[in-house]
Amino acid sequence: MTESTVPSAADCAVLWPVATRWEDNDHYGHVNNVTYYSYFDTAVNGWLMQSTGLDIRTLPAIGVVAETSCRFLSQLSFPDDLQVGIAVERLGNTSIVYALSIFRVDGENLTPAAAGRFVHVYVDAETRRPTPVPAEIRAVVEALGQ
């Protein structure tokens, strides 16, 4: 997906449900920009835990967010229901680059609200030095395709 492309649900290997919360709205009555990053984080880690069947926090290597970005396309507000689209842009030796999208559920339609990027770099849980992506994570990410 290019920077100017509006995301489509068809471009996403996974759609992860996320509900907005009352506290997500800011003074202006819409979801605050920083909360979009929380939706990305929740979707990626929730999907990883469900698809591996593991509590990823207990693995000897953990994914830390080294880079993230978000392009805002339309306003969200509580009580919107959302779907976060997950696709893999790149799977490296020690990192994974995800292409992410946030869609507002509008009845049968998914309306694009944001497009983002999320880079997980895997580090040893104790030393915090880069380490290969754990085999359990690599297997589910590879299954998404690139």
Q: What is the pLDDT of residues 100-139, one digit of tens each?
A: 999 999 999 999 999 999 999 999 999 999 999 999 999 9
pLDDT in tens, 22-70: 999 999 888 999 999 999 999 999 999 999 999 999 999 999 999 999 9
List phi, psi (to 5°) of 13: -70, -30
This prediction's pTM: 0.91
The residue with tokens 């907005």 is 20
User: Could you tell me the CA-to-CA distances from 54 to 2, 5, 12, 65 in Å, in that order?
Assistant: 33, 34, 23, 19
Alpha-carbon distance of 127 to 133, in angstroms, equals: 15
